Structure 1
Amino acid sequence: MAPRCFIIRHGETEWSLNGRHTGVTDLPLTANGEKRIKATGKALVGDDRLVVPKKIAHVFVSPRSRAQRTLELLEIGCRERLPWTEQRKPETEEAIRTEAKVEVTEAVREWDYGDYEGLTSKQIREQRAERGEGPWNIWTDGCPGGESPDDVVRRLDALIDEIKNKYQRPCLEGDGEQGDVLVVAHGHILRAFAMRWTGKPLTETSLILEAGGIGTLSYEHNNIDEPAIILGGQFVVE
């Protein structure tokens, strides 16, 4: 089986519930969000599940605590302590299931919404209408005071190149089974990530990844030059 890249959106927060754009604002998961992520981990992480810990080569996680808490709750069982914790959980609480290292990186932080931070799409459209500006589409317009689509493409393309060539090309060429990668981050940036994985412009984005959902990216014909999205690979446990 070709190595996979799992894109995991953090669990529910108060702002994801009401549609407010959450970039740099650091919000905790709701109680329901934590409950659902725990259930997702039990259902989808394991030797006979979608995400097989022993096959994971590396984990990239956003600097935001909502993404880091999501990774904790999935309990993939890293040997090393998570970078934001003082010590590793005792084995009696979480068995060691993977040798993968966890890297906190700005490459997968959420889109910088700039002036639109904390606003809903409806509020953004209303503000633009009051100023006599046209309709808004993040994939083409970006965010004033924040990131443009080109900004996002640059940082994602660099990360995707690293994933494919450092962690997955060796696996495809027969050098071991540890080629899967986890990316734990946010809604807009992961939707953009999936599009860039397949080399598509952000203007063609028509993907949805719900809070707590897991999407699966891989390759056709075990060929690094044929990146693909695996349909049916997105799950949300209620």
Structure 2
Amino acid sequence: MTLRLFLVRHGETAWSLSGQHSGRADIPLTENGEHEARQLGDRIRSFTFSHVMTSPLQRAQRTCELAGLPRPAEIESDLMEWDNGDYESRTHQEIVATHPGWNLFRDGCPNGEMPEQISARADRLIHRLIELDGDIALFSHSHFGRVLAARWIGLSAKHAQQFLLNTASLSILGYEHDRPDQPAIALWNSAPLERFGGGTL
């Protein structure tokens, strides 16, 4: 079976609403975030996953649980969010007020992870995943998920800035023509259109 990675960002949290950077802070889903996770489950429940992996943070684990997949999830620490260090809980506007021009994907976080570190973490996870087969569900986070996708197709961490991820969105990483030497993004940031300011689909 050809490997496909079903990458899921966790559902809504209070900090995803406020725009606060939530890296290692273990915050819960909102009520709407739990609703999003159940909706996501309706979309992916028909797939048979050879592995289900989740970040150890509760917002990812709870999203996985509410999605209702039959296979027990494996806790995978490399799926954790970017360590924001000194910038944890701060908004982008608050950070650039004191550090003009700051860019997470280029500059990283003081006392947290730098781009080369999160890139190495993504590469380490990919190296293990490509030894597996079939459809694999990965429940993770926005910034790490974006870096994972960039590294999957051979781009640097700084290019992950261009890969936006909505809460409880589904993305699929796979291969062109089922060839392992041609990694590709088959689906990206798939979520109900209402989350983009449009109607439902």
TM-score by length of 2: 0.91
- Say whether residues 1:230 and 2:196 are aligned partners: no
Structure 1 portions without partners, runs of 5+: 47-51, 83-101, 129-133, 169-178
Question: Which of 106, 131, 138 matches 1:140?
Answer: 106
What does residue 99 of structure 1 align with?
none
For residue 22 of structure 1, give the secondary structure of its aligned residue in structure 2: coil
- Structure 2 residue identity aligned to 1:224: P
Q: Secondary structure at the match of 1:234?
A: strand
| CA distance in structure 2 between the aligned counterparts of 1:40 and 1:186, rounded to whole angstroms | 15
Question: What does the per-residue CA deviation read over 1:191-235, in whole Å, with 9 as the maximum and x for residues that have no partner?
Answer: 00000011111122211110110111100111111100014x532
Instruction: Tell me which of 150, 153, 163 is aligned to 1:195.
Output: 150
Partner residue of 1:62 out of 55, 65, 78: 55
Aligned to 1:216: 172
Which residue number in structure 2 is paired with residue 90 of structure 1? none
Equivalent position of 1:163 in the other structure: 129
Cα separation, 1, equivalents of 2:77 and 2:98 = 29
Give percent identity, aligned residues only.
40
Say which structure is richer in strand.
2
Secondary structure, counterpart of 2:129 in structure 1: helix
Aligned partner (choices 89, 98, 107) of residue 118 of structure 1: 89
- 1:32-57, Cα deviation, whole Å (9 max, x unpaired): 111121112113321xxxxx12xx12
Aligned counterpart, 1:13: 13
- The residue type paired with residue 29 of structure 2 is L
**2:75 corresponds to which of 92, 104, 109:** 104
> Secondary structure in 2 aligned to 1:200?
coil
Secondary structure of the 1:124 match is: helix
Give structure 1 regions of 4+ aligned residues with deviation exceeding 4 angstroms. none
Taking only aligned residues, the RMSD between alpha carbons, in angstroms, comes to 1.4
Aligned partners of 2:116 and 2:157 also within 8 Å: no
Whether 1:43 and 2:43 are equivalent positions in the alignment is yes
Inter-partner Cα distance in structure 2 for 1:200 and 1:41: 30
Q: Is residue 207 of structure 1 aligned with residue 163 of structure 2?
A: yes
> Structure 1 residue 6: deviation in Å?
0.8
Paired with 1:187 and 1:43, the residues of 2 have a C-alpha distance of 19
Letter in 1 for 2:95: I
Of 37, 42, 64, which aligns to 1:71? Answer: 64
Q: Deviations over 1:114-138 (max 9, x none)?
A: 000000100000122xxxxx41111
Aligned partners of 1:188 and 1:234: how far apart in 2? 13
Letter paired with 1:108: L
The residue matched to 1:230 in structure 2 has which SS?
Answer: strand
TM-superposition CA deviations, 1:13-35 (whole Å, max 9, x none): 00000110001111111111111
How many residues align structurally?
192
